[in-house]
């Protein structure tokens, strides 16, 4: 039996190649390739898992901002997801931009029959600040989607919106995450990972936080790249986490690996950026 070692360090035998680790991304489309479905698939490929995709929204956007958002019907989103699940052994589903409650409800019905883990990055706005969703009140989102999620990966603003709590520092972020976990204690939610940025007293540092119901918070800190505005970091982080989980890593290890991946890809992207505008730079997944 032939054995090879992937660049991620994962051992894959010839027999294993018949069952490739597979992650399904359910998210919006970004024509620049910097965020959304495009960034998700690039991340998954660079880490070493097979990425499939179901599109929730078409957008027209670039470094200047988002000018058009066209949601796909909830029925069509559900059909895309079912088509993938009927052909592949998907172990993890990563959800990004949902768009509206119709899509959220359609996804919820599909997820009722899914046995793997669901990672939800609750994208509320683009890097430019443009609102990307019409999801109503947090309670409606809870009823339609979050109750089916295994891991939630909000940033500070998304965490505050979903929890209904004030989030201005790390202590408040941990408290808000615990509010969400307690609210969903009867459901599948295992952890809240708060994506770094805007929580540190020291503006030169970024911390990601892993909060679980019965454990002390884990913190992964890295240096902030001063003056850099990057596009698609949230999508990339959640996809990296999903990919490492699909490769068989435990949550704590996947959390650490995703942080290290972000450090590497941000560094290489800033050195090699080619964008005509410096206002919002894409991540260069192919160089990671």
Per-residue pLDDT tens over the stretch 253-273: 999 999 999 999 888 888 887
Percentage of the residues of the chain whose pLDDT score is greater than 90: 56
pLDDT attached to residue 207? 86
Cα–Cα distance, 135 to 57 (Å, whole number): 14
Strand spans (E) along the chain: 3-5, 11-13, 22-29, 50-62, 65-71, 92-95, 117-120, 151-152, 191-194, 205-211, 218-223, 230-231, 281-282
Average pLDDT over residues 126-150: 67
Residue 16: predicted pLDDT? 54
Mean pLDDT (the chain) is: 86
Q: How far apart, in whole angstroms, are the C-alpha atoms of residue 170 and residue 11?
A: 37
State both tokens at 194.
């708060």
Contact call for residues 238 and 202 (beta carbons, < 8 A): no
Q: Is the pLDDT of residue 173 over 80?
A: yes
CATH class of 20-287: alpha beta
Q: pTM for the whole thing?
A: 0.88
pLDDT grade for 127, boundaries at 50, 70 and 90: low
Backbone angles phi, psi at 191, to 5 degrees: -160, 155
Domain ranges of the chain: 20-287
Where residue 5 falls among pLDDT bands split at 50, 70, 90?
very low
CA 118 to CA 98: how far, in whole Å? Answer: 14
Tokens standing for residue 221: 């800190």
Q: Which of 117, 125, 96, 100 is nearest to 36 (CA)?
A: 96
**Secondary structure (3-state) at 271:** helix
């Amino acid at each position: 039996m032939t054995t090879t070692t992937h660049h991620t360090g994962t051992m894959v035998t010839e027999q294993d190649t018949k069952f490739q680790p597979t992650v399904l991304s359910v998210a919006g489309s970004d024509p620049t390739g910097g965020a959304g479905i495009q960034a998700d698939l690039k991340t998954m490929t660079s880490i070493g898992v097979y990425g499939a995709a179901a599109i929730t929204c078409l957008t027209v956007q670039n470094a200047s901002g988002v000018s058009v958002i066209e949601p796909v019907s909830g029925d069509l989103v559900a059909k895309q997801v079912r088509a993938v699940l009927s052909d592949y052994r998907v172990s993890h589903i990563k959800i990004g931009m949902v768009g509206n409650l119709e899509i959220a409800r359609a996804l919820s019905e599909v997820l009722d029959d899914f046995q793997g883990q669901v990672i939800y990055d609750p994208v509320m706005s683009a890097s430019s600040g443009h609102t990307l969703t019409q999801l109503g009140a947090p309670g409606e989102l809870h009823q339609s989607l979050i109750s089916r999620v295994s891991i939630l990966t909000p940033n500070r603003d998304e965490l505050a919106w979903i929890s209904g709590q004030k989030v201005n520092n790390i202590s408040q972020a941990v408290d808000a995450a615990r509010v969400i976990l307690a609210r969903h204690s009867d459901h599948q939610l295992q952890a809240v990972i708060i994506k770094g940025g805007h929580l540190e007293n020291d503006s030169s540092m970024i911390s990601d936080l892993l909060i679980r119901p019965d454990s002390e918070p884990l913190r992964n800190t890295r240096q902030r790249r001063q003056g850099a505005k990057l596009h698609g970091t949230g999508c990339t982080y959640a996809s990296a986490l999903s990919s490492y989980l699909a490769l068989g890593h435990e949550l704590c290890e996947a959390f650490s690996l995703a942080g290290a991946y972000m450090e590497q890809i941000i560094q290489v992207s800033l050195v090699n950026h080619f964008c005509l505008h410096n206002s919002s730079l894409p991540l260069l997944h192919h160089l990671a």
